[in-house]
Amino acid sequence: MYFVYILRTSKNTLYTGQTNNLEKRLKEHKSAKNGAKYMKYFDNFELVYTEEYETRSDAMKREAELKKLTKTQKEMVIKNLPPASLLPKGI
């Protein structure tokens, strides 16, 4: 099983990643040694979104899709809302 995840940092930025061991990866992000370089610039973070995939290839494709989204679009994904283009006008 593979996971795609989004973290919200202490500065309210969003970090997207993928892993086959979510618990281990979150611990790595907390440590300065093995975490992503980007994450060491923040005091802490919160896991705000996950998806599960059968293959690493599928997880990597989804991670790439999410990374192309704007922050507003990612916030909609986190809230499980459809893309703005699918919402009724005025929402």
Q: State how far the Cα of 31 lies from the Cα of 10, in Å rounded to an integer.
A: 15
Closest C-alpha among 88, 75, 23 to residue 49: 75
Q: Is residue 42 part of a domain?
A: yes
Whether residue 37 has pLDDT greater than 70: yes
pTM of the model: 0.83
Q: Is residue 90 part of a domain?
A: no
The number of distinct structural domains making up the chain is 1
Domain limits for position 57: 2-83
Q: Is residue 88 part of a domain?
A: no
Mean of all residue pLDDT scores within the chain = 85
Q: Is residue 91 part of a domain?
A: no
The pLDDT, as a whole number, for residue 42 is 81
H or E, element range at 14 = strand 14-19
User: CATH number for the domain including 17?
Assistant: 3.40.1440.10
